[in-house]
């Protein structure tokens, strides 16, 4: 039946029953995510369970920062943190349960997808900027028809004050990195607008603006801002959508559109009359190929790294479940 945990340190403590079966969220190096239920209400949540015994001092700082940022971000388009509990070698982050999986995966499962659907995902970005945090790359959809897109996974997020710029290091998927990051320059909030421009490009046609199997060549494309709107797939995209992408994928961060300005762009604030309502079947088909490629590459890379670092086959260690904690939270066996 699982085990019980007690929340002592957090003001929003809840009683949760955690399912034995994992949900769609991925397992990290030291964590797993399970579906859970608040016992007094029956509402479902997602519990991210981190084995803190294996974390370094730096990893502990990152975990504390993630929880701190998530507590600040309260918005309908952001997966909300409801509780943060640390006990007996494990840390538990209890979030909203979002059942649709990653946004790009959710889109290919839809019966209908248009420009207007793509334009509904930008308000959360402005909220993250106003709160002083750098938003994550992960976008989640919900299985419910018409449900909102939500930002999730703030493990790599950082906090910035106003127009603060500094070198925060490399963080993110290569295809989403901005020119100033690749040039190792001080950067700030405009890097998020660049990443959102890349996401918007993908949402409209199903493939990224910058792509090359050779990572060095990919970075050269990004630094040069070398992208275009090729036929025939871009022929049916409205000029307003292309204009917004151009303003987001501007090489000079000082001239890049802000989140606040993007929300005032006609393609966003006048979507009912500007954004096309035409179903984009070709975009959906391209997204299927893009999703398959995204999943394959990390697996190939992971396998290659394992072969390089493991000259002989070693039997995996048996992972023991966490000790039985005290209190009101039901915890399943660790696996």
Could you report the per-residue pLDDT of 206-227, keeping only the tens digit for each?
Answer: 888 998 889 999 999 999 999 9
pLDDT at 28 over 90: no
210 phi and psi angles, rounded to 5 deg: -125, 130
Kindly state the average pLDDT of the residues 1-18: 33
CA distance 240 to 34: 41
Which domains does the chain carry?
16-96 (3.30.200.20), 100-153+166-294 (1.10.510.10)
Q: What is the pLDDT of residue 77?
A: 73
Q: For residue 130, name the pLDDT band (cuts at 50, 70, 90).
A: low
Percent of the chain with pLDDT over 90: 14
Could you report the per-residue pLDDT of 36-92, keeping only the tens digit for each?
Answer: 888 888 888 888 888 888 888 888 888 888 888 888 878 777 888 998 888 878 888
Q: For residue 144, name the pLDDT band (cuts at 50, 70, 90).
A: low
Q: What is the pLDDT of residue 242?
A: 94
Q: For residue 321, name the pLDDT band (cuts at 50, 70, 90).
A: very low
CA nearest neighbour of 125 among 135, 112, 113: 135
Q: How far apart are the first and last CA of the chain?
A: 15
């Amino acid at each position: 039946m699982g085990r019980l945990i007690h929340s002592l340190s957090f003001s929003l403590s809840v009683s949760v029953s955690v399912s034995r079966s994992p949900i769609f969220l991925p397992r990290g190096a030291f964590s797993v995510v399970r579906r859970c239920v608040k016992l007094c209400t029956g509402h479902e949540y997602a519990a991210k369970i981190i084995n803190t015994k294996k974390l370094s001092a730096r990893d502990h700082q990152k975990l504390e920062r993630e929880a701190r940022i998530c507590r600040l971000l309260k918005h309908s388009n952001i997966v909300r943190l409801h509780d943060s509990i640390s006990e007996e070698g494990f840390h538990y982050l209890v979030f909203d349960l979002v059942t649709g999986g990653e946004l790009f995966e959710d889109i290919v499962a839809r019966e209908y997808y248009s420009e207007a659907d793509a334009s509904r995902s930008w308000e959360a970005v402005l909220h993250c900027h106003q709160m002083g945090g750098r938003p994550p790359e992960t976008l989640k959809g919900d299985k419910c028809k018409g449900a909102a897109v939500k930002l999730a996974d703030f493990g790599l997020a950082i906090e910035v004050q106003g127009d603060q710029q500094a070198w925060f290091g490399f963080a993110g998927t290569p295809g989403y990195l901005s020119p100033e990051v690749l040039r190792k320059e001080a950067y700030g909030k405009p890097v998020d607008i660049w990443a959102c421009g890349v996401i918007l490009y993908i949402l409209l046609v199903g493939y990224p603006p910058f792509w090359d199997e050779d990572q060095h060549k990919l970075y050269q494309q990004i630094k040069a801002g070398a992208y275009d709107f090729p036929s025939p797939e871009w022929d049916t995209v409205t000029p307003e959508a292309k204009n917004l992408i151009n303003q987001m994928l501007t090489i000079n961060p000082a001239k890049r559109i802000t989140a606040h300005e993007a929300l005032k762009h006609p393609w966003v604030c006048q979507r009912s009359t500007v954004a096309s309502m035409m179903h984009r079947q070709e975009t959906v088909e391209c997204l299927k190929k893009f999703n398959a490629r995204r999943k394959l590459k990390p697996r190939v890379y992971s396998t290659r790294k394992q072969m390089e670092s493991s000259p002989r086959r070693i039997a995996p260690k048996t992972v023991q479940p966490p000790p039985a904690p005290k209190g009101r939270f039901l915890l399943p066996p660790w696996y």
